[in-house]
Structure formats: C-alpha cells, structure tokens
Structure 1
Amino acid sequence: MTQQGATATLPEPEEAEADFAEAPETGPLRRCLVTREQVAREEALRFVVGPEAKLVFDVAATLPGRGLWLSAKADVIALALKRGVFSRAAKQRVEVPADLAGTVEALLLRRVSELLGLARRGGGAISGFEKAREWLVEGKAGLVVQASDGSVEERARFIGGRAVGVVSPLDAAGLGRIFGREHAVHVVIAPGKLAKMIEVDANRLAGVAGRQTSGHIAPSLNTVEAGLGET
C-alpha cells in the first residue's frame, strides 16, 4: 500500500475497464478502480449504476448489480471524478453527483448515527464518563466512541492505555442527540456485530473526510442532515 505523501504511479483510466470486468466480488478483498490496489472490503466504498444510469453509493454494500469499488479516501474519490473511471468501468455514460465526496460522507455519518442509536436502544451502548468507564474497566467494551471535540487529555484519561478500538465520528452535541442528552463525550459499545459495523463505517468516514478517526472536529448531525436534504 502506498503511504500517504509518497508519489504513486497510478494506472491509466482505460485500465479501470479491465479491472471492473475481472475483479470478483467475493472474498475479503476488493480492487480499487483508481489505484488498482486490492484493499480490505471494510476499507472500500461500493458504488452501483442505478436507474437512469445514475451512480449510487451503496453504503451498506447490499444493493443488486455489479459493484464499482474505490478505496475510502478523499483523494481517491477526487481522482475518480477527474478521470471518469465510473463510466469507463461500467462501459456506459454514468451520471455522477457533482459533490460525490460530500454525498458519501453524509450517508456514512447518517449510517454511523443510526447504528449508534440501534446499539443504544438495544442496551448495547452506554454514555457518560463514569458509567461508560465502568464498562471499559470490566472488559465490556467492544468499541469506544468519543466526541471529536472533547478534551484530548480527558479522552486519553478515559481510555487509560487499554487496548480497545476508538473512533470519533461525531461531536459532543451529535452524540448527545443520539443518547438523549445535551452532550455526550464518552460512549462504550458492547462487543459484537454492531461494534464492528460502527468501527468500520466510522473509519471509512474518516478516510473520506480526510481526517483521523480521533482528534478531529467532526461535522454536527444537523449539518449532515441539511446536506442530505440538498442531494
């Protein structure tokens, strides 16, 4: 995998057509149409050509049709638009949203928010420093979700050096709305499928937004909902 900041020799646009025809949609790896690198399915974005030849971001990777895959990175999406790889790979003219990265980011953030809400309603998530840290100390944490605008020192103190996945897809106000309070900085998700899904989508979101999964200022949920209303 090419490291960020290194100069990469990318394939010519025409090669995307062959990759699309040859790359299988089975197994743990998917081939990125832009870089032609094989990446883990969890680190990639799936698109399909929908009705009227419009490109659709398949956020859950479940829609019918052959998938067109990109690495979940902002610069890869930008280059895909510049090179027109979707139309080339699909061998037809495909209508692509003008703000594709923004659409993908908004849908991923909505999905993460919905998954967090599902975990809360099912009793598989808890918020608040003391209650959440109790789960963490007792080994009941499959994932830690921390507000992106919380104190770095407080977030580190909460983790206490424990080996656990940490993501920060939302700010404190956004997390608070999901957990029925004004603000929420620390959330612990119980081990299981939901924890894994939240971690995967939060990391994909961070890649698309061009930031790390922690230590960043995430958009508020209100901003995302407004953006989706415009798409």
Structure 2
Amino acid sequence: METSAARPHATLAQASRERRDVVSGEVMDEARLIRFVAGPDGQVVPDLARKLPGRGIWVAANRDAVAAAAKKNLFARSAKAPLKAAPDLADQVERLLRQRVLASLGLAKRGGDLTSGFEKVSAAISSGKAAWLIEASDGAADGRRKILALARKANPPPGLVGVFGAAELGLALGLENVIHTAFLAGRAAGRWAEDVRRLEGFSPLLPEDWREEPVEAKRKP
C-alpha cells in the first residue's frame, strides 16, 4: 500500500495523486515526485511511469533529494527491508528522464502534435499554437536568436527546452538536422511538460552558454 497524506482531500482522485516525499516529509502531487520500487535483487529501481509492481517509495523530483535518500538509507528505512541504492542513482534518474522526454517527442510527432523547421515553428509561435519550443543545444546562435525573439512576443510565451542536440532530436523524430521544433498546445503537451519539469530538477533545461535572455523555461499551467 502506498503512502499518502493523512489530511482531508476535495476528491478521491486528488487523494490518489498525492504522496509523501520520504526525504522532506512533505506531501505533494505525484507529478513533483519520482517513484521507486524494490528490484528483485534488492536494488532501488526508478519507476518513472509509476507502473512497476510493489510498494512505491516517493522522492521529490530533484537531484539533491534523490541523492539524500540514497546517502541516508531512506529507501531501506521506508520499505523496512535491506534495499541498496546505487551511488549514482540521481544520474540514473536523469538519464531515464532524458530518454523518456525524447521518446515522448517521437510519439508526439507521430500523433501530429509536433512541427519542425524554422518557418513552421515560427508560424506555430505567431499563431499561439506552440506550447513548447524545443531548440537544439548545438544549433546556430543566429537562428536561435531570431526564433527566441519571436517567442518572446507570444502571449503567453512557449516554454523552452534546449538540453538535446540536433542528432538526439533527429534520432527521436526520425528526421535529419532537427534544430527548431514546436510542441503544439494540447493534452499531449501537458503530459510531456510533467516529465520536462521533473527533468529540470536534475539538469538545467538550457545550456550554460546561451547568454541571451530566453523565454520562460517553464510554462505555467
């Protein structure tokens, strides 16, 4: 049975989506947490999709919290079992989140929720249809400046993600030389945003060498 807060809830649906972070003790929405389970070998296993069998152990979706849970043996304490957490557990979570975010982009493209290319992305931004702007981290600065300038004028501006290179985006989307991509507003974009925000707890969404002031890194719901 999974741990949930012992406090009133407006609905049963709300109650089922709130869990307690084993590090801080704070009760929060599942969207802000990472679920872990005990693997068959006694190792702590990240369960990003929240579907693996077993009792879930929930940790805030950020690097410091996951590292603290591993260092302080909080997984074993919560499970009341001799679980072992890998020293690089936070790095594992980051890698899995990156893979999950990229895989979701591929699904979104097949579902018609993405558009790529400078002209198409510019049109999506201008029409207010772009929920997220995904820019290749190794794209040319000139093109990025132009499209970011356009994005700043949108109301509201799209969220911005710049953690993936052109080759990574191309592989995920089945295209070549992917520099500019827009995730169109809709339910799929909302689901994708949840994983993007969790990834942000482990890795900055923008490269350090992007000196210009970008649009907001997180799109408010």
**What is the TM-score of this pair, normalised by structure 1?**
0.75
Alignment of 1:43-122 (within 5 A): 43-122=32-111
Cα deviations across residues 197-225 of structure 1 (Å, max 9, x unaligned)? 2211122112123x2x23447xxxxxxxx
Q: Which residue is equivalent to 1:8?
A: none
Structure 1 residue 202 and structure 2 residue 205: aligned?
A: no
Instruction: Please provide the CA RMSD for this pair.
Output: 2.4
Q: 1:45, CA displacement in angstroms?
A: 0.6
Are residues 76 and 158 of structure 1, via their aligned partners in 2, closer, same or farther at CA, if it must alter by over 3 Å? same
- What is the distance in 1 between the residues matched to 2:187 and 2:208? 26
Q: 1:27, CA displacement in angstroms?
A: 3.7
Q: Which residue is equivalent to 1:147?
A: 136
Give unmatched runs, 5+ long, in structure 2: 7-13, 210-221
Give unmatched runs, 5+ long, in structure 1: 1-19, 218-231
**What is the TM-score of this pair, normalised by structure 2?**
0.78
- What is the distance in 1 between the residues matched to 2:208 and 2:111? 28
Q: 1:54, CA displacement in angstroms?
A: 2.3
Cα deviations across residues 80-109 of structure 1 (Å, max 9, x unaligned)? 111000000000101222311121111111
Secondary structure of residue in 2 paired with 1:35: coil
Amino acid of the structure 1 residue aligned with 2:165: D
Identity among equivalent pairs (%): 36
- What is the distance in 1 between the residues matched to 2:106 and 2:208? 22
Alignment of 1:203-218 (within 5 A): 203-209=197-203, 211=204, 213-216=205-208
Are residues 181 and 52 of structure 1, via their aligned partners in 2, closer, same or farther at CA, if it must alter by over 3 Å? closer
Amino acid of the structure 2 residue aligned with 1:173: A
- Does the 8 A contact of 1:177 with 1:183 survive in 2? no
Q: Which residue is equivalent to 2:9?
A: none
Structure 1 residue 32 and structure 2 residue 21: aligned?
A: yes
Cα deviations across residues 98-140 of structure 1 (Å, max 9, x unaligned)? 3111211111111111110011122221111111121222232
Q: 1:22, CA displacement in angstroms?
A: 5.8
Q: Identify the structure with the greater helix proportion.
A: 1
Q: How many aligned positions are there?
A: 196
Which is further off, 31-40 or 117-126? 31-40
Q: Which residue is equivalent to 1:133?
A: 122
